[in-house]
Structure 1
Amino acid sequence: MSLESSAHKSNLSSAAARGNEITGLSIYHDTNEDITLERVQQLMSEMNADVPQGGTDIVFGDKETQRLRFWEPTSKSCKAPIVVFVHGGSWAIGTYLDSVGSVKVKYLNDLGYAFASVDFALIPKVTVEEQVQEVADAVSYLMKNSLALGIDPEGVVLMGHSSGAHIVSLVGTDARYAQKADFNINLLRGIIALDGSNYNAAASIADNTGSIVTNMLHALGSNPERLQSMSPTLHAAGPNARAFLLLHVQRKGDIRQAVEFSIALKVAGTNVNLYVFEGEGFEGHVALLMRLGNEDYPATGVMKEWLEKYAPVK
Structure 2
Amino acid sequence: MHQKTEPTASASAKDEVEPSVASDLTPIAIAARGREITGLRIFQRTTAEDNITETRLKELLLAMNTDQPTGGVDMTYGNGKAQYLRYWKPKSPNAPIILFVHGGSWQSGTYLDSIGSTKVAHLTGQGYAFATVNYKLIPSVMVEEQVQEVADSLGYLVRNAATLDFDPQRIILMGHSSGAHVVTLLGTDERYLEKAGINIHTVRAVISLDGSNYNALAEIADSPGPVAENTIIGLGTDPKRLQDMSPTYHARAPNAGAFLLLHVHRQGDVRQAVELSVALEAAGTDVALHVFEGESFEGHMQMLLRLGDPTYPATLVTDHWLKVHVPVTMLST
1:57 partner amino acid: D
8 Å Cα contact 2:97-2:129 kept in structure 1: yes
* CA distance, structure 1, for counterparts of residue 53 and residue 267 of structure 2: 19
Match of 1:236 in 2: 251
Matches within 5 A, 1:100-119: 100-119=115-134
Once the two structures are overlaid, the 10-residue window that deviates more, 285-294 or 200-209, is 200-209
* CA distance, structure 1, for counterparts of residue 222 and residue 88 of structure 2: 37
Match of 1:302 in 2: 317
8 Å Cα contact 1:58-1:67 kept in structure 2: yes
Once the two structures are overlaid, the 10-residue window that deviates more, 164-173 or 28-37, is 28-37
2:70 partner amino acid: Q
Match of 2:200 in 1: 185
* CA distance, structure 2, for counterparts of residue 134 and residue 218 of structure 1: 19
Out of 279, 295, 301, the position equivalent to 1:264 is 279
Out of 275, 291, 300, the position equivalent to 1:276 is 291
- Tell whether 2:186 aligns with 1:168: no
1:46-72: CA deviation from partner (whole Å, max 9, x where unpaired)? 111100111100111111111100112
1:50-103: CA deviation from partner (whole Å, max 9, x where unpaired)? 001111001111111111001123xx2110111110000000000000000000
Q: Report the alpha carbon displacement of residue 26 of structure 1 after superposing the two structures with TM.
A: 0.3
Q: Report the alpha carbon displacement of residue 31 of structure 1 after superposing the two structures with TM.
A: 1.7
Match of 1:54 in 2: 71
Q: Report the alpha carbon displacement of residue 275 of structure 1 after superposing the two structures with TM.
A: 0.1
Once the two structures are overlaid, the 10-residue window that deviates more, 90-99 or 135-144, is 135-144
Q: Report the alpha carbon displacement of residue 12 of structure 1 after superposing the two structures with TM.
A: 8.0
Secondary structure of 1:191's partner? strand
- Tell whether 2:153 aligns with 1:138: yes
8 Å Cα contact 2:27-2:295 kept in structure 1: no
Secondary structure of 2:256's partner? coil
- Tell whether 2:164 aligns with 1:149: yes
* CA distance, structure 2, for counterparts of residue 198 and residue 31 of structure 1: 18
* CA distance, structure 2, for counterparts of residue 72 and residue 143 of structure 1: 13
* CA distance, structure 1, for counterparts of residue 193 and residue 53 of structure 2: 40
Mind listing any 5+ residue stretches in structure 2 that lack a counterpart? 1-11, 18-25
8 Å Cα contact 2:94-2:167 kept in structure 1: yes
- Tell whether 2:98 aligns with 1:86: no
Mind listing any 5+ residue stretches in structure 1 that lack a counterpart? none
- Give the TM-score, by structure 2 length: 0.89
1:207-236: CA deviation from partner (whole Å, max 9, x where unpaired)? 111000000001100011100100000000
Out of 264, 284, 289, the position equivalent to 1:249 is 264
Q: Report the alpha carbon displacement of residue 147 of structure 1 after superposing the two structures with TM.
A: 0.5
- Tell whether 2:104 aligns with 1:96: no
Secondary structure of 1:152's partner? strand
* CA distance, structure 2, for counterparts of residue 181 and residue 65 of structure 1: 18
Tell me the percent identity. Answer: 57
* CA distance, structure 2, for counterparts of residue 164 and residue 246 of structure 1: 13
* CA distance, structure 2, for counterparts of residue 157 and residue 196 of structure 1: 16
Secondary structure of 2:132's partner? strand
- Give the TM-score, by structure 1 length: 0.95
* CA distance, structure 1, for counterparts of residue 150 and residue 267 of structure 2: 28
User: Would you identify which runs of 4 or more consecutive aligned residues in structure 1 move more than 2 Å?
Assistant: none
Match of 2:22 in 1: none
8 Å Cα contact 1:128-1:219 kept in structure 2: yes
1:50 partner amino acid: D
* Count of residues in Structure 1 that have an aligned counterpart in Structure 2: 305
8 Å Cα contact 1:12-1:287 kept in structure 2: no
